[in-house]
Structure 1
Amino acid sequence: MSSFVLYLIGFAILIGGIAWALVEAGVPHLYIIIASVILTGIGILKAVSHTRTKDISRN
């Protein structure tokens, strides 16, 4: 399994835990969904930036 997929799985587990905590705290569902979408975007951006290979340019 690629490190990109592992990174996304870990981030999905993190988002799930945060969403669960917000539900238990009584936060409205709309705010939980908005926070989850934002965190998903951040997770994808971080996964791409941490796992992409560096381009080697030749002179």
Structure 2
Amino acid sequence: MSSFSIYFLGVVVVVNALAFGATLLGVPPLWTGIGALVIIGFGLMGAVRKTREKDDTSTSD
């Protein structure tokens, strides 16, 4: 499993836990879904940022 997969799997677990908690608190499903999508979006951006390879650009010395 790649680092990206592990990172994003963790994000999905957190989103599921938060959505379940929101449902138990009586948050409307529309807002639970919106919140889940926002967290997944941030998680996707974070996973890409953490796991991307650095560009091999030469710098002038």
Q: TM-score, normalised by structure 2?
A: 0.93
Structure 2 residues not aligned, in runs of 5+: none
Which residue of 1 is the match for residue 25 of structure 2?
A: 25
Q: Aligned equivalents of 1:58 and 1:10: distance in 2?
A: 35
Q: How many percent identity over aligned positions?
A: 34
Higher radius of gyration, 1 or 2: 2
| Structure 1 alignment gaps of length 5 or more | none
1:7 aligns with 2:25: no
**Residue number in structure 2 paired with 1:43:** 43
Distance 2:3 2:45 in 1: 14
Code of the aligned partner of 2:28: P
